Amino acid sequence: MFDQIRSRARELESQLVGFLRDLIAIKSLSSEEEQVVRRVETEMRACGYDEVTIDPMGNVLGRIGHGRHVLALDAHVDTVDVGEPAAWTVDPFKGVLRDGAVFGRGACDMKGALASIVYGGRIIKDLGLEGDFTLYVVGSVQEEDCDGLCWQYMIREDRLRPEAVIVAEPTDLGIYRGHRGRMEIEVRTRGVSCHGSAPERGDNAIYKMAPIVSDIERLNGRLSGEPFLGKGTVTISQIRSTSPSLCAVADSATIHLDRRLAATDTMDSAVAEIEALPGVKAAGAKVAVLDYAVQSWRGLIYPTKKYYPTWLLPDDHPLLAAGVATYRQMFGSEPRIGRWVFSTNGVAIMGMHRIPSLGFGPGNEIYAHMATEQIPVEHLVKAAAWYAAFPFVYTRETQR
C-alpha cells in the first residue's frame, strides 16, 4: 500500500503543483477568501470527494468515507498581504516554479499544505483506500486575523468534532506536538489635555505610559516556562496616543501587547501580571484583552476574545504514535519531533476544545510572511503521500 501511495503521489506531482500555482494566483486576505474557497471546492469535486460543502462562515469541507473514526486535515486558505512589493524578486501572485520550488505569497503559509491535503484525499479515492474512517479535508478561513476562530465555529455550529486533527502548517516535514498560546492585550492611560505651550496645566497620558513601557520590558525577562514549548514572552507591538492637536498635551495613550503563553499561563494569570506592574498601578491604567468581531466573506460575524490557549500533545499519546508510524512506513526513517514558534488553529481545536491534534506540513516556517516565501515541490509530494496514508495507519493503530 505505501509503495502505491508514494507512486501515485509522484504521478500527480505536476497536477499538484499546478493546483498550488492556481491557489497562489488568487489573492485571499482574511475575510476575502471567496474565490480561493471556490477554487478548492472545484478541485475537491474533480478529485472525487464524496461530499463538498461550504459552511455559513465560508470554510470549505471535503468529506471522504463514512467510517466510525472521524478525522480531519486542516489548512487555512487566507494569507497575509504582500507588504513592500519591491522586496519581492518574483511576482507574488504568479506561483513561480524555479529550482525545484514554488515561490509566491502563501506558498509556504499555507497554500502548499492546502494543495497537499486536497491531493492526499485524491490519492485515497484514486487507490480505493477508504476504510473505517470519515476524513474531512478542511480549507479554513480568517486564520491569519484570528487563528482558531474557524474551528470554534465548525466545532460549535457545524457540529464537526473529529477524534483527531492534523494541522498542516509548515513543519519542514517534521511532526509537531503543539506550540505556545498567545493573547492580544491593551494597556490604556488617561490624561488631561491642554495647550502645548503650557503643559503644566494638563496631565500627559504619554508620560504616564513611559514607566509602564519599561515595566513590560522587565516583565519579559522574568517570564518562565517549560523546556519543550519554551518560556512565555511579552512585547509591545504598537503605541499610540490621542490629543486635540499636535500642539496639545496627550489625553490618552495605548500600548498593544503581544503576549506568548507558556504551558502554565492562562488568560487570567497573564492579565494579573500586567495589572500588578508598578507603572500600571501608579497610572491607574486599564488592562483589557481585545475582542475580534470581523465579518467573514459570507457576511458572518462570530465574536471571540483574542485569547489563544497553549496546547501540547503528550509524548505518549496514540495520535503521536500513529503520526510517527505513518512517517516510518512511508519514508523509512525516523521523523523529527518538534513544535511551532508561531500560533495555529490548534489553539481552538486542542487548546479550547481538547481534540487531540498533531502538526505535519510541507515547507519551512522561516519563509512564512516573507518576500522570499517558497515551498519545495518534493515537500508537496511527500506531504500528500503522508496525508493519504495517515487515516489508514491511525485506524489500524487505534484498533490494536
Question: Does the pLDDT of residue 171 top 90, yes or no?
Answer: yes
* Rounded alpha-carbon distances, angstroms, from residue 233 to 73, 268, 309: 30, 16, 14
User: Structural domains in the chain?
Assistant: 2-179+310-398 (3.40.630.10), 181-292 (3.30.70.360)
Sequence-distant (6+) residues with CB within 8 A of 128 are: none
Q: CA 127 to CA 124: how far, in whole Å?
A: 5
Average pLDDT over residues 313-340: 97
Grid coordinates standing for 99? 529550482
Residue 367: per-residue pLDDT: 95
For residue range 42-92, list pLDDT tens digits in order: 999 999 999 999 999 999 999 999 999 999 999 999 999 999 999 999 999
- Amino acid letter for position 271: V
Q: Give Dmax (Cα) for the chain.
A: 81
Is 51 a residue of the active site? no
For residue range 194-230, list pLDDT tens digits in order: 999 999 999 999 999 999 999 999 999 999 998 999 9
Average pLDDT over residues 6-12: 98
Average pLDDT over residues 374-391: 98
Question: Does the pLDDT of residue 372 top 90, yes or no?
Answer: yes
For residue range 280-314, list pLDDT tens digits in order: 999 999 999 999 999 999 999 999 999 999 999 99
Q: CA 128 to CA 392: how far, in whole Å?
A: 11
Matching residue, cell 517558497: 374
Residue 397: per-residue pLDDT: 82
Ordered alpha helix ranges (H), 128-251: 149-156, 205-222
pLDDT-derived band at 398, boundaries 50, 70, 90 = confident
Could you give the 3-state DSSP secondary structure of residue 129? coil
Residue 399: burial class (beta carbons within 10 Å; 0-12, 13-18, 19+): exposed
Q: Which among 43, 55, 74, 78 is annotated as catalytic?
A: 78
Q: Which among 143, 147, 169, 365 is annotated as catalytic?
A: 143
Could you give the 3-state DSSP secondary structure of residue 224? coil
pLDDT-derived band at 400, boundaries 50, 70, 90 = low
Residue 399: per-residue pLDDT: 74
For residue range 174-190, list pLDDT tens digits in order: 999 999 999 999 999 99
Is 184 a residue of the active site? no
